[in-house]
């Protein structure tokens, strides 16, 4: 376990199970950002962080999105600290379904302000990784907590059944209009040049889109053919994620009318 202080009112723990960063923002009241996956060891580490700071009153446990490594520990953490679980509207039903009961009792909307009496948090809807992903701006210090929307050490995966590539790019472009000093991601180290990183991610995704479009234009017409033209010797799980990335780009290109697909949806062609 690593307990760290990002700044006087922002503390965090990096967990062992999935490498998640769970943050505690502390005014006179406190808010957690994400909760880990709920394994006993990881929950113990988060609770140890909270207790080491004097067990402050927790207003909210803010979940950036539905994935279990970010939301799976929320119910345990709420039970111990008394904090209310919060998420965006689009993530609430998935999180409640994961638990088999209603656990999200505070629904967050874009622009909502959470005043911790010493730290002000602003909720930003940043859909893409999932349809209801949010980021949270610590207003006074211009620190943006991004969950999996922006990572500290890798590129975010967009899965067609949970997210949307077009929405993701739009979210990144919207973030370019904010003053951001630091990005505190859900995984990996703090991003200290936020705008450089956002620009890099956008350009990386657009370059991959151009590559996929060009491959389809030269009769690489299936997901497998595109995959085999781009990637070499990926491990099984990474290969699955890479195919999903390709599929997400293909869906975006179809929506834009730049490519079309066969009746069964498995063969793609450039629109002439």
Domains 2-192 and 204-270 share a fold: no
Residue 3's pLDDT band, with cuts at 50, 70 and 90, is low
H helices within 60-193, ranges in order?
Answer: 68-71, 74-81, 89-99, 165-175
Predicted local distance difference test score (pLDDT) of residue 1: 46
Q: How far apart are the first and last CA of the chain?
A: 56
Q: Find, among 64, 140, 123, the residue nearest to 95 by Cα.
A: 64
Strand (E) or helix (H) holding 200: helix 194-217
Q: How far apart (Å, rounded) are the C-alpha atoms in residues 161 and 248?
A: 9
| CATH number of the domain located at residue range(s) 204-270 in this protein | 1.10.10.10
CATH 3.60.15.10 for the 2-192 domain, yes or no: yes
For 66-79, what is the mean pLDDT? 97
Q: What is the 3-state secondary structure (H, E, C) of 225-242?
A: HHHHHHCCCCCHHHHHHH
Predicted local distance difference test score (pLDDT) of residue 267: 87
Predicted local distance difference test score (pLDDT) of residue 4: 78
Instruction: Write down the domain spans for the chain.
Output: 2-192, 204-270
pLDDT, tens digit (0-9, with 9 covering 90-100), for 103-137: 999 999 999 999 999 999 999 999 999 999 999 99
pLDDT, tens digit (0-9, with 9 covering 90-100), for 28-48: 999 999 999 999 999 999 999
Q: Could you tell me the CA-to-CA distances from 175 to 6, 194, 202 in Å, in that order? A: 21, 10, 11
Q: How many residues does the chain have?
A: 272
Q: What is the largest CA-CA distance in the chain?
A: 65
Q: Please give the model's pTM, rounded to 2 decimal places.
A: 0.95
**pLDDT for residue 272 is more than 80:** no
pLDDT, tens digit (0-9, with 9 covering 90-100), for 125-179: 999 999 999 999 999 999 999 999 999 999 999 999 999 999 999 999 999 999 9
pLDDT, tens digit (0-9, with 9 covering 90-100), for 190-229: 999 999 999 999 999 999 999 999 999 999 999 999 999 9
**pLDDT for residue 260 is more than 50:** yes
**pLDDT for residue 2 is more than 60:** no
């Amino acid at each position: 376990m690593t307990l760290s202080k990002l700044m006087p009112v922002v503390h965090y723990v990096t967990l062992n199970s999935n490498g998640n960063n769970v943050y505690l923002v502390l005014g006179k009241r406190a808010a957690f950002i994400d909760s880990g996956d709920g394994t006993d060891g990881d929950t113990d580490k988060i609770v140890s962080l909270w207790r080491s700071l004097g067990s402050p009153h927790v207003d909210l446990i803010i979940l950036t999105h539905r994935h279990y490594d970010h939301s799976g520990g929320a119910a345990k953490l709420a039970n111990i600290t008394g904090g209310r679980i919060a998420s965006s509207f689009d993530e609430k039903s998935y999180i409640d379904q994961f638990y088999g009961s209603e656990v999200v009792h505070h629904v967050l909307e874009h622009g909502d302000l959470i005043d911790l009496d010493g730290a002000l948090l602003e909720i930003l809807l940043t859909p893409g990784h999932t349809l209801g992903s949010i980021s949270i701006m610590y207003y006074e210090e211009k620190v943006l907590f991004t969950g999996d929307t922006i990572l500290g050490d890798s590129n975010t995966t967009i899965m067609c059944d949970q997210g949307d590539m077009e929405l993701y790019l739009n979210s990144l472009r919207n973030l370019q209009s904010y003053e951001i000093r630091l990005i505190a991601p859900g995984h990996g180290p703090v991003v200290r040049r936020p705008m450089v990183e956002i620009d890099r991610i956008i350009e990386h995704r657009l370059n991959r889109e151009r590559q996929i479009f060009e491959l389809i234009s030269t009769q690489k017409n299936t997901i497998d053919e595109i995959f085999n033209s781009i990637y070499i010797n990926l491990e099984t799980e990474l290969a699955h994620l890479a195919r999903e990335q390709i599929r997400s780009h293909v869906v975006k290109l179809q929506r834009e009318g730049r490519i079309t697909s066969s009746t069964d949806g498995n063969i793609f062609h450039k629109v002439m």
